[in-house]
Amino acid sequence: MKNLLKKVVVVTVAITVLILGGCGDKQKPISATTATPAQTYHWKMVTSWPKNFPGLGMAPEKFAKHVNEMSGGRLTIQVYGAGELVPGFEVFDAVSQGTVQMGHSGAYYWKGKIPASPLFGAIPFGMTADELNAWLYYGGGMELYREMYKPFGIIPMAGGNTGAQFGGWFKKEINSIDDLKGLKMRIPGLAGDVLKKAGAIPVNLTGGEIFSSLQSGAIDATEWVGPYNDLAFGFYQAADYYYTSVWHEPSAGLEFLINEKAFNSLPKDLQQIITVAARAVNEDTLDEYNARNNSALKTLVEKHHVKLRQFPPEVLAQLKKYTNEVMSEQAAKDAGFAKVWKSYSEFLANIRSYNDITLKEYYKNR
Ligand code: CA
């Protein structure tokens, strides 16, 4: 046995010497002068958020940092806040036209161009963040998302989620559906169409424009996100009542917009880095909101004496009825919306049944 081992060792050493010797003779070390330097790419990303705004604005910053570090500096991305290169609502056009390579925004801002876009971000009485991600990644949602944006030369990727959003800030209490009549409220997406049916006047403003509009009285009410972000904007200084009811954005999916030509010009490994970084930031953003909303809410109530309210059940029931009407109208008007809505509503019906007998019960019992 010992002899056999000795033989194996001797043979192995001999082979190793041969291989090393062979290499030494035939292969020259790569010199600095003959190596081709890796091509580097420098991209710009415009966003719909104030630069470095907590949550929403930090998602693109984290993404850029991940991509820079994972690519060893081969792909760097400069992030711009709303209005620095283009206004917040022109992010889509800038990416589509190739003025910049990337954008970060919310899908429902583009409902005028792509009627189905709100279904990838937020619709009233729709999916929670977990449900939306399940549909996007494993329920056929992402394929439809790409299909809808393809005519504009844009590849969309999920880019964060705020979780359930609050009903918003009101200067007067809402005690009946009639209290919504004539109310000027900042509210984007299809929720605006729902409120219009209740006689309200929906207004679309980017985040940075909201506070001054609320304070001056140009609008009577606003929704934005939830305690973490709403505290940062200081809305408690302009309105007394904060409605905790979740209805119009049970979750809000954010998105990365990528110019298709720019993406296709990248080598495969950089494309994969972008894809994986987007997936990481999508989850990270939701985790951050879930962790920070409650402490922000405590600050709003205990330090700033904000009055928390809920919409009466009959107001929510009426809003739900109007939502169903809006969805039917949208589906009748636009084939793309109808196609995505079919997938979305079927997935939601199934996952809702499942969650009704599991999580919903658990929330009541724990
Ligand atoms: Ca919102």
Band of residue 38 on the pLDDT scale cut at 50, 70, 90 = confident
Please give the mean pLDDT across all residues of the chain.
Answer: 92
The Cα 155–Cα 294 span in angstroms is 34
Residue 28 has pLDDT above 60, yes or no: no
pLDDT confidence bin for 37, thresholds 50/70/90 = confident
Is residue 131 domain-shared with residue 204, that is, in the same domain?
no
Structure tokens at 52: 């470095």
Whether 153 and 209 share a structural domain = no
Distance between CA atoms of residues 304 and 237, nearest Å? 8
Range of the domain at 222: 168-250+293-365
* Ligand 1 centroid to residue 191 C-alpha, Å: 10
Distance (Å, rounded) from C-alpha 348 to C-alpha 350?
5
Whether 60 and 45 have beta carbons less than 8 Å apart is answered as yes
Residues 106 and 243 in one domain: no
Q: Tell me the CA–centroid distance for residue 169 and ligand 1, in Å.
A: 11
How many independent structural domains does the chain possess? 2
| Phi, then psi, of 241 in degrees rounded to 5 | -105, 130
Distance 251 CA to ligand 1 centre (A): 9
Q: Give the integer Cα–Cα distance in Å for 347 and 340.
A: 11
Q: Would 235 be classed as within a structural domain?
A: yes
Residue 191 CA to residue 181 CA, distance in Å, equals 15
What's at 149, amino acid-wise? Y
Query: Measured in whole angstroms, how far is the alpha carbon of residue 199 from the centre of its chain?
Result: 30
pTM of the model: 0.88
Decide if 150 is inside a domain: yes
Answer yes or no: is 111 within a domain: yes
Q: How far is the CA of 177 from the centre of ligand 1 (A)?
A: 21
Residue 104 inside a domain? The answer is yes
Same domain, 150 and 204: no
- Residue 206 sits in a domain whose CATH number is 3.40.190.10
Give the Å distance between the CA of 297 and the centre of ligand 1: 16
Give whole-number Cα distances, 46 to 57, 58, 111, 118, in Å: 11, 13, 19, 20
In DSSP notation, 52-79 reads T-TTTTHHHHHHHHHHHHHTTTSEEEEE
Task: Specify if 246 maps to a domain.
Answer: yes
223 CA distance to ligand 1 centroid (A)?
6
> Cα(245)–Cα(35) distance, rounded to whole angstroms?
61
Find out whether 85 and 46 touch, Cβ atoms under 8 Å: yes
- pLDDT tens, 105-136? 999 999 999 999 999 999 999 999 999 999 99
Residues 84, 143 share a domain: yes
At residue 33, the pLDDT reads 52
Same domain for 148 and 275, yes or no, is yes
What is the pLDDT at residue 330?
Answer: 98
- Is 276 within a domain? yes
Rounded to the nearest angstrom, the distance between the alpha carbon of 161 and the centre of ligand 1 is 11
What's 283's domain CATH number? 3.40.190.170
Q: Residue 27: is its pLDDT beyond 90?
A: no
Contact between residue 336 and residue 150 where contact means Cβ atoms under 8 Å apart: no
Domain identity same for 63 and 105: yes
pLDDT tens digits, 287-346: 999 999 999 999 999 999 999 999 999 999 999 999 999 999 999 999 999 999 999 999
CA gap 311, 175 in Å, rounded? 7
The per-residue b/e assignment along 70-103, b for 16 or more CB within 10 angstroms, e otherwise, is bbeebbebebbbbbebbebbbbbbbbbeeebbbb
Give the per-residue pLDDT at 35: 63
Same domain flag for 106 and 224: no
Q: Are residues 175 and 66 in the same domain?
A: no
pLDDT bin (cut points 50, 70, 90) of residue 164 is very high
CA of 12 to the centre of ligand 1 (A): 68
Q: Domain boundary at 275, 291, 307, which?
A: 291
Compute the distance from residue 270 Cα to the ligand 1 centre, in Å: 32
Q: Are residues 243 and 328 in the same domain?
A: yes
* Co-location of 127 and 257 in the same domain: yes
What sign does the dihedral 241-242-247-248 (CA atoms) show?
A: positive
For residue range 165-178, list pLDDT tens digits in order: 999 999 999 999 99
86 assigned to some structural domain: yes
Same domain, 68 and 207: no
Across residues 250-266, what is the average pLDDT?
A: 98
